[in-house]
Amino acid sequence: MPESQHLTMRIHGDLGDNAYILDAFTGCLAYARASVLRIESHLFVPQGLTAIALLTESHASIHTYPELEMAYVDYFSCSVKPRMDDFINMWKDFGFDVTDKKIQHR
């Protein structure tokens, strides 16, 4: 059985632009070499976004709380191919602070 990786973290910053958040989410996954099959998202009224990426390796998700300038991110991979550190650092390149990051190897 291949080694798996499970990342949980929070991001902080201006989360009011849903299109930018989706671009960042997609960009971070691509930079980490995740194999994205499909991304589904839901916009909440008056604000907020939930998105999930179906990956050949498993899944990734984000749920935003713009009023708190915070989002929860979850990324699970049944492969060691995705580079979790690159995924984390790319969020910083998009202008967000990353906190409470935990990577578990299973």
Strand partners, 98: 11
Go through the chain and tell me how many residues it has. Answer: 106
Q: If DSSP codes are grouped into helix, strand and coil, which group holds residue 69?
A: coil
For residue 63, indicate whether it is catalytic.
Answer: yes
For residue 78, indicate whether it is catalytic.
Answer: yes
From 58, 59, 61, 79, the catalytic residue: 58
Dist CA 33 CA 30 (whole Å): 5
**How is residue 75 written in tokens?**
């990324």
From 6, 12, 59, 63, the catalytic residue: 63
**How is residue 51 written in tokens?**
């998105």
Q: Enumerate the active-site residues.
A: 58, 63, 78
